[in-house]
Structure 1
Amino acid sequence: MTTVEQLQLDNIAKNDYQIYPLLKQRYSPRIFSDQELTEKDVNRLFEAIRWSASSYNRQPWRFIYAHKGSEAYDTIFDCLSDFNQKWAGNAPFLMLAGYKKNTDEGTENFHALHDLGLSLGNMTVQAEYMGIGVHHMAGVNWQKAHDVFNVPEGYHIATAIAMGFYGGELNDLSEDLREQEGAERTGKPQTEFAFEGSWK
């Protein structure tokens, strides 16, 4: 029977060129250890975000987070899509990620979503270094999140994130999700997205 530890080994990317090991190891788990994230763990993750690049150093990212067992955790969970609710309750930590849409001068910050992505990339690598799995989710009802968390005008919740230390029991997942968890990681070849000199 496949174990979580075997899954972690199987999910190491089969890269064509050598890359930083933490990038090879990263994947998006749907099962997690019961180990809680401590305040220090959370501070380290947000410190990685703090020092990520952003246009004009505007740092437009904003986050709402909660630990399992809290009312806020249940509220975030209720904002997730039905599919994500099938597994996200395994995570000891849930988070909503948003951004400030305009600059302080009132003009549209066209790069805000890009900067949010950069910050989450930083956090994901830091989490991997700490043995924490991160699963980013597009399946979130952002309108509901805005309402229940009183998100101010001018901000937008873009994604949700489930986090926890690697581990847990595969049997906590439904059969279809167990199959997805064990599926081989794939990525488009570079020739499909990187073009020298002109768009191909």
Structure 2
Amino acid sequence: MDINTTDLFKKTPTEHEVHDLIKNRWSPRTFSDQPVSQKELQVLFEAGRWAPSSSNLQPWNIVWGIKGSEAYDRIMNVLVEFNQKWAKNAPVLLLGVVNTKTAKGDDNYHAPHDLGSFSANMALQAQSMGIAFHQMAGLDFEKAKKEFKFPDTYHVATAIAVGYYGGELSNVPDFLQEAETGERSRKKQNDFVFNGDYRETGDVKEE
């Protein structure tokens, strides 16, 4: 089954109007056969490069590989089997890595947040180019760190599948196909936004 252009962006039931780059962005497990070039990747990395970071430490590091390359296969080999089943559809795989220490050797507790900002910048830039991102926690972090020779103070925090929207639904395992076509959902703001102390259920009041 081909996913045609009318199906590329899922329905997103926002309760407040947000920018289309945010509204239309989602994380598919199928990708078009259209390749993503190294030049396009450099645009994405440049977008990430200008993300905010605590004390401007910029603790992020990216490992990348285009399908058919040794680097791609090495990244694929550190993913958990569940993600390997569909990530093989992506023309590009990335690893997001952070240095958990400052230059003085102190713990940088903000490093994962900063990598998140880097990744969000990349994802929105990608969306503007018709390119999809699917970020994954399912990888062997220690194996990946050893495989790509990062020092002990570094943590491989995420893997990312990158490619143009599209592809064939049949390339995704049956048990994941419904997730590819279903409506998106999120918690209500009242569940996580607090104008004061934490409560089991938030109370967001419009002003």
**TM-score normalized with structure 1 length:** 0.95
Q: Quote the offset at 1:152 in angstroms.
A: 1.6
Aligned-partner residue type, residue 189 of structure 1: K
Residue 90 of structure 1: SS of its match in structure 2? coil
Residue 88 of structure 2: SS of its match in structure 1? helix
Percentage of pairs with the same residue:
46
CA distance in 2, matches of 1:150, 1:4: 41
Deviating above 6 A after TM superposition, structure 1's stretches of 4 or more consecutive aligned residues are: none
Q: Deviations over 1:38-81 (max 9, x none)?
A: 12201110011110000011000011000000111111101111
Correspondence for 1:83:
82
Q: Note the 1:40-55 alignment, pairs <5 A.
A: 40-55=39-54
**RMSD of equivalent CA atoms:** 1.3
Residue 109 of structure 2: SS of its match in structure 1? coil
- Contact preservation (8 Å) 2:3, 2:167: no
Residue 158 of structure 1: SS of its match in structure 2? strand
Aligned-partner residue type, residue 8 of structure 1: L
- Whether 1:139 aligns to 2:138 is yes
- Whether 1:98 aligns to 2:97 is yes
- Contact preservation (8 Å) 2:8, 2:166: no
CA distance in 1, matches of 2:194, 2:171: 43
CA distance in 2, matches of 1:3, 1:123: 24
- Contact preservation (8 Å) 2:11, 2:183: no
Q: Note the 1:1-200 alignment, pairs <5 A.
A: 3-9=3-9, 11-200=10-199
Are the structure 2 counterparts of residues 36 and 188 from structure 1 closer, same or farther at C-alpha, using a change threshold of 3 Å?
same
CA distance in 2, matches of 1:113, 1:147: 19
- Contact preservation (8 Å) 2:66, 2:93: yes
| Count, aligned residues | 199
- Contact preservation (8 Å) 1:12, 1:26: no
- Contact preservation (8 Å) 1:4, 1:170: no
Q: Quote the offset at 1:172 in angstroms.
A: 1.5
Q: Unaligned regions of 5+ residues in structure 2, if any?
A: 200-207
Q: Quote the offset at 1:4 in angstroms.
A: 4.1
CA distance in 2, matches of 1:102, 1:2: 46
Q: Quote the offset at 1:174 in angstroms.
A: 2.2
